Structure 1
Amino acid sequence: MTPSRTDTSPEPAAPRRRGRRPGGGDTRSALLAAAREAFVELGYDGATVRGIAERAGVDAAMVNHWFGSKEQLFIAAMQLPLDPTLILDQVLPGDPERLGERIITMFLTVWDATGGGQLAALVQSVSSHQEAAKMLREFIMNVLIKRLIEAIAPDRVAMRANLIGSQLIGLGMARYVVKLEPMASADHATLVRALAPTIQRYATGDLG
């Protein structure tokens, strides 16, 4: 008869593998998959580099090795053809009262360069995929729009970022997904004249 085990303490856990996985591509793919899960579950601010690395089963240093930062990992996870840091550097300098013009101009320039590209696909998938919707919301609120206006918004930064985001998503849907005419073929100057005043009011004006 086998003696019963009296020691009820848990068995020691196997040490987690550290460092790069055997295949570089496997490590990058694992990090991207883990990042999408973490950003959807926890949001951009709640997800951490260490937590994402643990989900992927690699050392946290691999995030910097492959992506450089949490923000760049987020961009890669969303498959965005743009770098928010570059956009901020180009849009923020200048007259705060013309920020709306610069936001719309940059938005159209980036999207038209790829015919809508991955951003249009993301906008199109929002209506049927909760994961895509949450990722897009995090991008608008915490990675791009909020950072564009938080230095100049007189109050209610979150609300203002939401309002601007709604305009940009609506423009993206109409111009690149539904291809609503004449908006789909309108030149940049026409759309900037029409939309910039609304964006500007959302950023710095009286919301009532």
Structure 2
Amino acid sequence: MTAATPAPRRRGRPSRTETAASPATREVILAAAREEFSERGYEKTSVRGIAKTAGVDPALVHHYFGTKEQVFEAAVAVAFAPALEAPSTVEEGPLEGVGERLTRFIFGVWENPATRTPLLAIVRSAVNNESAAAVFRRLIATQLLRRIARQLEVPDPELRAELAAAQLVGVAMLRYVIKVEPLASADPEQVIARIAPVVQSHLTSP
């Protein structure tokens, strides 16, 4: 008498046994997603590729996150988390010094290799794909700019926050993504000294 042949696994939503196989499965998938988006960009990354890198069934990726766009948004939220602490710099002192505090904080995130690598992946994907750009805009608007604007006791706070962000993002793009010289190799303190007054003007000038 032979042992019964196991029933084939059905497609779609994974079984409870699969989803409970490892408490860290979600984090493993997120790490794989960040790696895939960083190396391949949004367009060339697939749920199947993320699953392969994570060593899981593609159904598990769909189970935890849903679509590729939702996986990207979750990966962006984790990778962008350090930058989302920027609003706290607005509260740390008087508005007279907020430009330098905010500029120094943002450059600190970009200058750190551990946080710069995932940020580069996010920016490159957002530049090349509208779906990725929409996720990036939503995260920037709701999690960063509006939180900064709420701290500004000046007219047009949201516009001011956006202009300050445009200044910082523009410099970051030229320095870290496009790597235009001499900006790319300039001393960070020199760049901060030149940019901070402009950011300050956007946020607080009459």
Tell me whether the two structures share a fold, i.e. TM-score over 0.5: yes
CA change 1:159–1:89 in 2 (3 A) is closer
Please tell me whether the aligned partners of residues 145 and 161 of structure 1 are also in contact (alpha carbons under 8 angstroms). Answer: yes
CA change 1:57–1:194 in 2 (3 A) is same
- In 1, Cα distance between equivalents of 2:110 and 2:93: 22
Match of residue 23 from structure 1: 21
- In 1, Cα distance between equivalents of 2:140 and 2:164: 9
Counterpart of 1:179 in structure 2: which amino acid? K
Q: Partner of 1:123: helix, strand, or coil? A: helix
- In 1, Cα distance between equivalents of 2:137 and 2:84: 18
- In 2, Cα distance between equivalents of 1:164 and 1:88: 12
TM-score when normalising by structure 2: 0.61
Output one character per residue of 1:142-191: Cα deviation in whole Å (capped at 9) or x when no partner. 21233123212412232222212211221111011111111111122211
- In 2, Cα distance between equivalents of 1:188 and 1:31: 31
- In 2, Cα distance between equivalents of 1:147 and 1:20: 39
Question: Which sections of structure 2, spanning at least 5 residues, go unmatched?
Answer: 1-14, 34-60, 65-71
Please tell me whether the aligned partners of residues 18 and 57 of structure 1 are also in contact (alpha carbons under 8 angstroms). Answer: no
- In 2, Cα distance between equivalents of 1:148 and 1:19: 44
Counterpart of 2:200 in structure 1: which amino acid? Q
Question: Which sections of structure 1, spanning at least 5 residues, go unmatched?
Answer: 1-16, 34-54, 59-72
1:43-192 maps to which residues of 2 (within 5 A)? 57=63, 76-80=75-79, 82-84=81-83, 86-114=85-113, 116-192=116-192
Counterpart of 1:197 in structure 2: which amino acid? P
Match of residue 195 from structure 1: 195
- State the identity as a percent: 28
**Structure 1 position 78, deviation (Å):** 4.0
Please tell me whether the aligned partners of residues 145 and 161 of structure 2 are also in contact (alpha carbons under 8 angstroms). Answer: yes
- In 1, Cα distance between equivalents of 2:164 and 2:132: 19
Please tell me whether the aligned partners of residues 140 and 161 of structure 1 are also in contact (alpha carbons under 8 angstroms). Answer: no
**Structure 1 position 99, deviation (Å):** 0.7
State the number of aligned residues.
Answer: 156
CA change 1:181–1:196 in 2 (3 A) is same
Please tell me whether the aligned partners of residues 154 and 204 of structure 1 are also in contact (alpha carbons under 8 angstroms). Answer: yes
**Structure 1 position 137, deviation (Å):** 1.5
Please tell me whether the aligned partners of residues 99 and 196 of structure 2 are also in contact (alpha carbons under 8 angstroms). Answer: yes
Please tell me whether the aligned partners of residues 100 and 200 of structure 1 are also in contact (alpha carbons under 8 angstroms). Answer: yes
TM-score when normalising by structure 1: 0.60
Q: Partner of 1:23: helix, strand, or coil? A: coil
Question: How big is the alpha-carbon RMSD for the aligned residues of Structure 1 and Structure 2?
Answer: 3.4
The answer to which structure has the higher helix fraction is 2
Runs of 4+ in 1 over 6 A off after TM superposition: 17-20, 29-33
CA change 1:188–1:194 in 2 (3 A) is same
- In 2, Cα distance between equivalents of 1:201 and 1:173: 21
Q: Partner of 1:127: helix, strand, or coil? A: helix
